[in-house]
Structure 1
């Protein structure tokens, strides 16, 4: 069985869809799960999301597993990230389940970003604004972007947001999180 790279559930909630938003890495070599990540709760949320997806027209949507400290969906599911995004956009009850994951944290995220990473995060935020995402905030001292409860969170991964993310991801190539 071939294993695909999987998405951390907290990142799926980034901009209401998480995929991995701006993520291209998995926390890097030697990353270890943080004490604040609750893998049992993540697995429970992931299973509820999978059932919601199956109940709403995705009968083959797989149940998740915890793999290397990440919530992952095993198997070869074509366009899994797109399916998750579509489900969250079209099914508010499924999105509400996934939104619970925001409190879990990222199992590979250091609690305090380095000064260099903070500089990169600020450059990423400025780039997002330069790309037309008005009001995209600078990161908080913990490295998270305060988007919860904002119109940007509600907008989710619209085409304009995805285009901006694509244009800015070269500035910060690690996972991002929202608060």
Structure 2
């Protein structure tokens, strides 16, 4: 677990990946990446259509139970807000940021908090997992996403990262109909330096390639 303690963005990626593929909250999938490195990265499937400018998702399940996409988004935001309030009151993070208006968490701010000494262990679900129930409820309330469009967004982001000097950044994949993030080719033994100037510059240049809700994924 030393890798997670020293790489707060990897924590964010694990957490978002769990929600993204709808797996149990404590069975998180590793998804991280970045850094300047001279080795060649995976370069297949780079030719894609333009990435949509707005988040997409069918929202079918929310339309049926909540009256339409807008109602689904409101339900998602309310559930995330309850999680945030739990993190502040019981989770040990009084400065945990509000979710975005879309309902998705603000990973830029969460990463900054998790980078502070001694503040990584509970960033996932609160100290001693105090907010696991609220996190699971927020995951369940997330509107259904268009997996193909999410894949195309992450693919455009991966290509952008390589074009901006992060040569080892790998492409996302599709598995069981779900988009799986790319990033570091070996997250268990990272070969990409998240703190390098090249990585940080590429991250900033490519941020717009990711649809809302995919930040922190790869």
Task: State the TM-score, normalized to the length of structure 2.
Answer: 0.42
| Structure with the greater alpha carbon radius of gyration | 2
